[in-house]
Amino acid sequence: MIGNEAQSIRPDGLPASVSCQTDKLPLAGLLTLAGAAFITLMTEIMPAGLLSSMATGLSISEGMTGQFITAFACGALIAAIPVTAVTRGMRRKPLMLAAIAGFAIVNLITALSTNYPISLMARFAAGVFGGVVWSLLAGYAVRMTPQHLSGRAIAISGAGAAVALVLGVPASALLGRIIGWQGAFGTMSAIAILLIVCGLIVLPDFPGQKKSERPSLAAIFLKAGIPSALLVVFTFVAAHSILYVYIEPFLGSAAVSASADTVLFIFGLGSFVSLWFVGATVDRWLRLLLVASIGTFALAALLLGICSSMPVIVYAAVFAWGLAFGGFATLTQTMLSRFAGNTVDVALSMNTTVWNGAVATAGVGGGLLLDRMGPTSFPWVVVATLIVSLGAVILGVDKVLARDAARNLPQR
């Protein structure tokens, strides 16, 4: 009976599971996935909070230590699509647990190694495992959840990333002060092992795709709505990253007496509110929320450009920016899962690549803007970039979502 249900096909093209026969969310499994998201993003950003202590411990410069973050991003950027394509035939549960086990290993290597090249290779491998997790996460959540609650499931599974985004750097810095940077990475290994145990108990398993059922990467990319959705991801994340990465020089130019930590805390509060609200409403209002997210971010950037010398307006704009960003990953992953159907894992690996590519592009582009035009140019470049994002929604994404809504597919 269970085997038959696991193989049945839902209206969105994904295999149904036993849990999908009820109206309840499988919270234990979704929270385990949230833990996987947490460990992935924490592993990525921890060096930012441990920069000086790692540099001292490894006898390298802080600039060289910063390359640990670059190495992780490169691993995810380069490996997400090919690794996901190669592993399409594997069962989902062993693959997810193997990726989490990878984090336990590479974080332990980072904690024990005193050799910079070895540590750098471990960080690159961590990025590869991160690419696997990000590619699996939303599709896993959708497969184990009733179809009409798929967006909420994606929000829950991604909540761990939101926690890591807001608390990751200060939490890693605190751990570094208490137990040292090696202890901080060792703690991440211990959490990964705990997640494996939880996953063995509560995660359902799903089969991979048979070879005859695997369309080419080009065919998946060209599915209706996917190119436009990926353009939305690239432009929105690039716009966000320009402000986020270079927030300190922007605040310095804005004559606001707030530290970057305070501003990013306010941003984090907005992100948490957004994640909760989007998670509760995405299955009903996906199209509206997507446009509202882009519009809210554009308005926030406009306020930062016009009223940068007014602290209250800056704080309000940063909170609005958090509202726009917090639920964005849930919106885009839900959108891609609907467009991709049973090829969702590959589509989400493309999303991972595009997301990391946007971050890298913003890092380089923001640096050039900073040097040549100054930080006051950031809000205006963000607004211009978001106009492209909104155009991609109106001209590409919205048409496909509207078509699916008319067919009473998951948009109802």
> Which amino acid, 367?
G
Between residues 203 and 18, the one the model is more confident about:
203
Of the residues 155, 189, 213, the one at which a domain ends: 213
User: What's the pLDDT at 6?
Assistant: 40
Q: How confident is the model at residue 191 (pLDDT cuts 50, 70, 90)?
A: very high
Measure the CA–CA gap between 124 and 75, rounded to whole angstroms.
Answer: 5
Of the residues 213, 238, 270, the one at which a domain ends: 213
Do 204 and 277 belong together in one domain?
no
Domain assignment present for residue 357? The answer is yes
pLDDT above 60 for 3: no
Do 65 and 107 belong together in one domain?
yes
Do 117 and 225 belong together in one domain?
no
What the block records as the tokens of 105 is 């290993």
Do 206 and 225 belong together in one domain?
no
Domain assignment present for residue 67? The answer is yes
Do 178 and 235 belong together in one domain?
no
Q: Count structural domains, the chain.
A: 2
**Cβ 353 vs Cβ 77: under 8 Å:** yes
What the block records as the tokens of 180 is 């040292």
User: What's the pLDDT at 279?
Assistant: 82
**Cβ 233 vs Cβ 356: under 8 Å:** no
Do 185 and 315 belong together in one domain?
no
2-16, 200-214, 292-306, 322-336: range with highest mean pLDDT: 292-306
**pLDDT tens-digit readout, 213-256:** 677 788 888 887 889 999 999 999 999 988 887 777 888 776 56
What is the dihedral angle through the alpha carbons of 351, 356, 362, 367, rounded to the nearest 10 degrees?
A: -170
**Average pLDDT of the chain, as a whole number:** 83
Do 84 and 221 belong together in one domain?
no
**pLDDT tens-digit readout, 369-385:** 888 888 888 899 999 99
Q: How confident is the model at residue 25 (pLDDT cuts 50, 70, 90)?
A: confident
Q: How confident is the model at residue 85 (pLDDT cuts 50, 70, 90)?
A: confident
Measure the CA–CA gap between 376 and 374, rounded to whole angstroms.
Answer: 6
Handedness of CA 168, 173, 177, 179 (dihedral sign): positive
List the one residue out of 41, 54, 76 whose CA is nearest residue 167.
41
Of the residues 186, 213, 240, the one at which a domain ends: 213
Domain assignment present for residue 411? The answer is no
pTM given for the model: 0.77
Q: Which domain holds residue 155?
A: 2-213
User: What's the pLDDT at 347?
Assistant: 86
Do 281 and 299 belong together in one domain?
yes
Q: pLDDT > 90: what percent of the chain? A: 32
What is the dihedral angle through the alpha carbons of 259, 261, 262, 265, rounded to the nearest 10 degrees?
A: 160
Do 38 and 131 belong together in one domain?
yes
What the block records as the tokens of 185 is 């990475």
Do 16 and 105 belong together in one domain?
yes
Domain assignment present for residue 310? The answer is yes
Q: Show the DSSP H helices in 113-158 as ranges.
A: 116-143, 150-157
Domain assignment present for residue 293? The answer is yes
The answer for residues whose C-beta is within 8 angstroms of residue 150's C-beta and 6 or more apart is 12, 141, 142, 283, 334, 337, 410
CATH number of the domain where residue 319 is located: 1.20.1250.20
What the block records as the tokens of 401 is 């979502």
User: What's the pLDDT at 353?
Assistant: 86
Do 188 and 42 belong together in one domain?
yes
Do 89 and 226 belong together in one domain?
no
Domain assignment present for residue 412? The answer is no
Domain assignment present for residue 123? The answer is yes
**pLDDT tens-digit readout, 282-330:** 888 888 899 999 999 999 999 998 987 788 888 999 999 999 998 898 8
